[in-house]
C-alpha cells in the first residue's frame, strides 16, 4: 500500500500528465466515436465471461478483461451523453478520486482519517456559506436520496425526539408535503422511516413544474382535517425532468407560520449558488432548515458526492443518529473527540467523498466554478433554444431541455383521435435505435398528461455547439420513417 501511494505521488506531481495518462489509457480501450456498444444481456454476459472460477488468470487475460469492461460500458464522459443528471469529467476531481481509492480509509474518526475530517469540515462550511448560513452542520452522504432521507429523519426527531427510543407507536399520524414533480426519494424515505407513502401529500405544480405555494397551504389544512400532523415540507431546486425551481420565499413563509421543517432538495440545482447571474433561482434558500446538494452533478466531481447541509447548531444530526459505539467513539481519547464525526451518520464505514471536490475547488477556485455554471452550462440550452426545430414541452428554466420529435407521419395531425397514442411511441423507438447504433444517449419519459417526450441534459464541459446540432440531426435521421 505504501509503495502504491508513493508511486501515485510521483505521478501526481504533474496533475495534467496524470490525467492525460489515465484518460489516454481509457481511449485505448474504446473509440470515442460511440457512446455505447449495445449488446443484449445474454450476448454481453458471454463476451465478458463473468463466471468466477477456482484458479486465477494470467495478467494478459486480466488486461483484456479491463479492455472489455471499458469497451462495453456506457461512456458517460462522451460529449453526446445527455441521458442523466451527470456527464463529462473534471480532471482534478478525477485525480482526487484515484487518490481516495489508493488511500482507502473510512471517514468516521480523526484518528483514522485526520486529513479528511478537517477537509470535510472545510468543504461543508464553504457550501453552507453559499447557501447563506454562517454556522450549521452537515455530512457527506452516499447520494441525494440518502441526503433527503437524513433531512426527513432529523426533522421528525426535532418534532418528536421520543421516536428514537420508543419508535413510531408513540407518534401521531405524520404528514409530509412535496410537489407532484419532486424526486421519488421522498416516497422512499416515507416508506423506509415508517411514515407511510399514503402520508406524503403531493402539492400541485404550474406548467413549468414549480410548486404552487397557495396549494401547499390548502394541502396542509387538508392533512390537518384528516387528523394528520404536518412536520416536513420538501421543496425542490431543479426537478429531475423539467429542471423546475420551487418558489422558496413563499414556501418559507408558510413553513414559518406553521412551524414546519423546510427542506430544499437542491441535488440538481444547488450549483447555481456559485453564479451571481443565476443564484436568484434559489432566492430564499437561506430560510430553509436543510439542503441537499450533489456536486457530482453539475459540478462534475464524479459519482458520488452528495451533502446534506443543516442550519441547526444544536447537534441534531448527531443526537438523532448516534449509537455511542465504545470501540470507535471513546470519550477519553488524547485529542478533541468532537472531531470524530462518524456518529452523525447512519453508516459505520463511510467513503471519503470530499477530496475530489476539495481538489477541484482548489484548482479552479470559486470563480472558475462560477464560470462553469454561467458559460459552459447555461449557454448550451440557450443555443439549443436558438436552433431548435422540434416541439418544446416548455421554455427551459435550467439545463433540462424537454421536447417531442414529431415524425413526418404525424405533422399537421394534432387533432387526430389517435395522435397522442402514436406520438407516445416515437421516443421509445428513437431511443432504441440510438442505443443500438451507439451514436448518443438521451432520456425520455411521460409526465402528468404529457405523453413520452425527450429530456436532454446539457452540462458536459466537453459539449460543443456541433455536438448539440448533431443530436438534433440524429434524432431526425433516426425518426424520419416513423
* DSSP annotation string for 128-168: HHHHT-SS-EEEEESSHHHHHHHHHHHHHHHH-TTHHHH-G
For residue 22, the model assigns a pLDDT of 54
In this prediction, residues 235-258 reach a mean pLDDT of: 97
Encode pLDDT of 134-177 as tens digits.
999 999 999 999 999 999 999 999 999 999 999 999 899 999 99
CA atoms of 132 and 282, how far apart (whole Å): 11
H or E segment to which residue 185 belongs: helix 185-192
Residue 26 above 60 pLDDT? no
Q: What are phi and psi of 441, to 5 degrees?
A: -145, 130
In this prediction, residues 349-366 reach a mean pLDDT of: 97
Of residues 458, 143, 99, the one with CA closest to residue 303: 143
More confident residue, 29 or 430: 430
Q: Which three cell numbers stand for residue 231?
A: 412536520
Q: Which three cell numbers stand for residue 263?
A: 427542506
Cα dihedral 108, 111, 112, 118 sign: positive
Residue 7 above 90 pLDDT? no
Q: How confident is the model at residue 397 (pLDDT cuts 50, 70, 90)?
A: confident
More confident residue, 11 or 294: 294
Is the overall model pTM greater than 0.75, yes or no?
yes
Q: What are phi and psi of 87, to 5 degrees?
A: -175, 165
- Give residues with Cβ within 8 angstroms of 407, minimum separation 6: 426, 479, 480, 481, 482
Residue 10 above 80 pLDDT? no
Average pLDDT of every residue of the chain: 91
In this prediction, residues 103-120 reach a mean pLDDT of: 96
Amino acid at each position: 500500500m505504501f509503495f502504491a501511494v508513493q508511486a501515485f505521488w510521483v505521478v501526481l506531481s504533474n496533475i495534467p500528465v496524470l490525467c492525460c495518462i489515465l484518460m489516454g489509457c481509457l481511449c485505448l480501450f474504446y473509440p470515442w466515436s460511440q457512446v455505447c456498444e449495445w449488446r443484449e444481456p445474454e450476448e454481453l454476459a458471454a463476451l465478458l465471461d463473468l463466471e468466477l472460477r477456482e484458479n486465477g488468470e494470467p495478467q494478459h487475460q486480466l488486461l483484456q478483461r479491463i479492455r472489455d469492461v471499458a469497451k462495453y460500458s456506457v461512456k458517460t464522459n462522451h460529449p453526446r451523453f445527455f441521458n442523466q443528471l451527470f456527464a463529462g469529467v473534471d480532471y482534478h476531481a478525477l485525480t482526487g478520486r484515484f487518490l481516495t481509492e489508493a488511500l482507502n480509509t473510512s471517514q468516521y474518526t480523526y484518528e483514522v482519517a485526520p486529513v479528511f475530517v478537517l477537509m470535510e469540515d472545510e468543504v461543508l462550511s464553504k457550501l453552507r456559506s453559499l447557501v447563506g448560513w454562517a454556522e450549521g452542520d452537515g455530512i457527506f452522504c452516499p447520494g441525494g436520496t440518502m441526503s433527503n432521507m437524513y433531512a426527513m429523519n432529523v426533522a421528525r426527531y426535532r418534532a418528536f425526539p421520543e421516536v428514537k427510543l420508543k419508535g413510531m407507536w408513540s407518534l401521531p399520524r405524520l404528514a409530509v408535503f412535496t410537489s407532484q414533480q419532486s424526486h421519488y426519494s421522498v416516497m422512499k424515505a416515507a416508506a423506509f422511516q415508517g411514515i407511510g407513502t399514503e402520508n406524503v401529500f403531493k402539492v400541485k405544480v404550474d406548467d413549468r413544474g414549480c410548486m404552487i405555494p397557495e396549494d401547499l397551504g390548502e394541502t396542509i389544512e387538508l392533512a390537518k382535517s384528516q387528523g394528520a400532523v404536518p412536520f416536513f415540507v420538501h421543496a425542490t431546486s431543479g426537478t429531475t425532468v423539467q429542471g423546475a425551481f420551487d418558489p422558496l420565499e413563499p414556501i418559507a413563509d408558510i413553513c414559518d407560520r406553521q412551524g414546519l421543517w423546510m427542506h430544499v432538495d437542491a441535488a440538481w440545482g444547488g450549483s447555481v449558488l456559485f453564479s451571481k447571474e443565476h443564484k436568484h433561482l434559489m432566492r430564499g434558500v437561506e430560510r430553509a432548515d436543510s439542503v441537499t446538494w450533489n456536486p457530482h452533478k453539475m459540478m462534475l466531481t464524479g459519482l458520488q458526492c452528495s451533502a446534506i447541509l443543516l442550519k441547526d447548531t444544536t447537534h441534531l444530526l448527531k443526537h438523532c443518529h448516534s449509537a455511542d459505539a465504545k470501540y470507535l467513539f471513546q470519550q477519553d481519547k488524547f485529542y478533541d473527540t468532537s472531531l470524530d464525526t462518524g456518529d452523525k451518520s447512519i453508516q459505520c464505514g463511510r467513503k471519503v467523498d470530499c477530496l475530489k471536490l476539495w481538489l477541484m475547488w482548489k484548482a479552479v477556485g470559486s470563480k472558475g466554478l462560477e464560470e462553469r455554471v454561467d458559460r459552459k452550462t447555461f449557454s448550451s440550452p440557450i443555443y439549443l433554444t436558438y436552433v431548435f426545430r422540434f416541439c418544446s414541452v416548455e421554455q427551459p428554466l435550467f439545463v433540462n431541455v424537454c421536447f417531442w420529435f414529431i415524425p413526418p407521419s404525424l405533422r399537421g395531425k394534432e387533432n387526430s383521435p389517435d395522435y397522442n397514442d402514436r406520438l407516445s411511441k416515437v421516443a421509445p423507438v428513437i431511443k432504441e435505435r440510438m442505443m443500438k447504433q451507439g451514436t448518443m444517449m438521451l432520456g425520455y419519459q411521460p409526465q402528468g398528461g404529457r405523453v413520452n417526450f425527450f429530456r436532454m441534459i446539457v452540462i458536459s464541459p466537453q459539449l460543443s455547439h456541433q455536438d448539440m446540432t448533431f443530436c438534433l440531426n440524429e434524432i431526425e435521421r433516426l425518426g424520419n420513417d416513423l
